[in-house]
Chains A and B, each alone.
Chain A
Amino acid sequence: MDSTALNKPSTWSAFALTLKRDLLIAFKRKNDIVNPFMFFVIVVSLFPLAISPEPTKLAEIAAGVIWIAVLLSAMLSMDSLFRADFEDGSLEMLLLSPHPLFFLVLAKNIAHWIVSGLPVVIASPLLAYMLKLPGDSYLTLLLSLLIGTPTLSLIGSIAVALTVGLGSRGLILAVITLPFSVPVLIFGTLAVQSSAAGLPAGGYLALMLAILAGSLSLAPLTSAAALRISVS
């Protein structure tokens, strides 16, 4: 498959190859998968210790705590999106390729989300249970995270692409990315809270889908432009 892809390189095969390559690398270096996930679990479990073990209080803050932990773990894991490729030079090869950078960046984004976002989404019902989230809202939580985490990855990739050449960039990444994630955070928590209160949450999920659609079409474009600026 690889040789035919090289002989007749279509954009689609370049996309698939980039995706496959990034996933392979991630599964070889399990740190990238385990660390964001562990970070998420640990941050969530700190909140009951800091605030109160009382079930009613926990149920009130559960949606917000989970969403903020997701936001932080997404942001911290973003750092690895382009870094290794930048350091070993393969990012430059990506920029030189004849295929539209949009799809290559998108492939890297999707791979990154599968590795760092998806495990968090899958673990979230368990942590929601530990925080005593009201029973009706589990599906909404899962859906909102399923829509929201790729959006966070896409938005974050712009800031990562802008700062890829910097030596120490953990904090500047946070300063740039966190304000950008406010709409996702607002609608994500609103969806969960309203379904916990027995209200319909479809409207918020639709708004989140709209933000996802917008960032899916615009963020890779912007990240690609940002990469061309940073790597030159």
Chain B
Amino acid sequence: MWLWFAKLGSPKWFYELSTKWLPWLTAAMVLTLGVATIWALLYLPPDYQQGYTSRILVVHVAVAGTSLAFFPLMAVAGTITLVWKMKLADMVAKNAAALGAWFSFITLATGSLWGSVSWGTWWEWSDSRLVSMLFQFFLLLGVVSLRSALEDSEKAAKACALLSIVGCINVVVIKYSVEWWNTLHQPASPVSMESGSANGPEFWIATALMILGVYLFLSVSLILSTRNEILQRERKALWVQELLADTKSGRG
């Protein structure tokens, strides 16, 4: 198991493995995302209360659920960076922060699109999920800006790893404090409709498919950006030089 772990840390090994996996993952992503999107946006029956706007929830729930995975992911990668000094973990974490910020942003955007019809407002401070998602967005942006501020890449890797671990704890604390803050003012949160079982099974199957698709999208984009990062950081390594020479001669 440890051998496997040490192997995984080698950028070259990851690059070669991901070259094999990437077509399959991409195909699976296109398939699930395509089916889920067409199904959700064109064929889902309108909800008896929300009408056609319930269709946007399929996208919203999937992206929101996935965006919660980023801080744990970054904290785990950060721990690996700090403890085992594995370069690959940091390459993944570097792009995860920016990607996570985008996911949070899309969650907020789709959520407020849905809310503008269902709640009659684009933004509602009294809802705890909106507020904690907003602060998760801010925290992720903080990690991104710390990364870009520190020039020494090794220092930036460690600093961001530490910030991600602290941020992961903080996201949880913020989530609960916002929830307590909220419930004291407005106990019934309209978002509970989201988890209500009023919607039929086709809604949930579409959502599950969409969640799978979004996770695949997350993996594919992380792998692609990590591959980029590997090529850039290891550009002086022999295997990268050979790879580049191969692609050039292949084209020419």
Contacts and interface: CB of A to CB of B under 8 A. Distances in A.
Contacts of B142: 175-176, 179
B135 A229 contact: no
A158 B166 contact: yes
Interface stretch (B49-57, B177-185, B215-223): B177-185
B87 interface: no
Q: Is the interface of A mostly helix, strand, loop or mixed?
A: helix
B139 interface: yes
Given A175-B145, A190-B181, A190-B184, A183 B174 contact: yes
Contacts of A20: none
B17 interface: no
Contacts, number: 68
Contacts of B174: 179, 182-183
Contact of B139 (A165, A179, A222, A232): A179
B138 A179 contact: yes
Interface in A171-185: 172, 175-176, 178-180, 182-183
Given A183-B173, A222-B166, A172 B145 contact: yes
B159 A176 contact: no
A38 interface: no
Contacts of A142: none
Given A175-B141, A229-B158, A211 B173 contact: yes
Given A163-B149, A175-B145, A190-B184, A183 B162 contact: no
Contact of B163 (A162, A183, A190): A162
A230 interface: yes
A5 to B, nearest CB: 32
Contacts of A225: 162
Interface string B148-176: 01100001001100110011001001100
Contact of A230 (B139, B141, B155, B170): B155
A66 B94 CA distance: 37
A158 B161 CA distance: 13
Interface residues of B, number: 24
B181 A166 contact: no
Given A162-B146, A176-B146, A229 B173 contact: no
Given A182-B174, A186-B178, A163 B166 contact: no
Contact of A187 (B138, B146, B170, B177): B177
B64 to A, nearest CB: 18
A202 to B, nearest CB: 14
B162 A182 contact: no
A43 interface: no
Contacts of B139: 179-180
A127 interface: no
B159 A162 contact: yes
Nearest to B141: A175
Interface string A52-78: 000000000000000000000000000
Closest 8 CB pairs of A and B: A183-B177, A179-B138, A176-B142, A229-B158, A186-B181, A162-B159, A179-B139, A186-B177
21 contacts: A162-B159, A163-B146, A166-B149, A172-B146, A175-B138, A175-B145, A178-B138, A179-B135, A182-B135, A182-B177, A183-B173, A183-B174, A186-B177, A186-B180, A186-B181, A207-B177, A207-B180, A222-B166, A229-B159, A229-B162, A230-B159
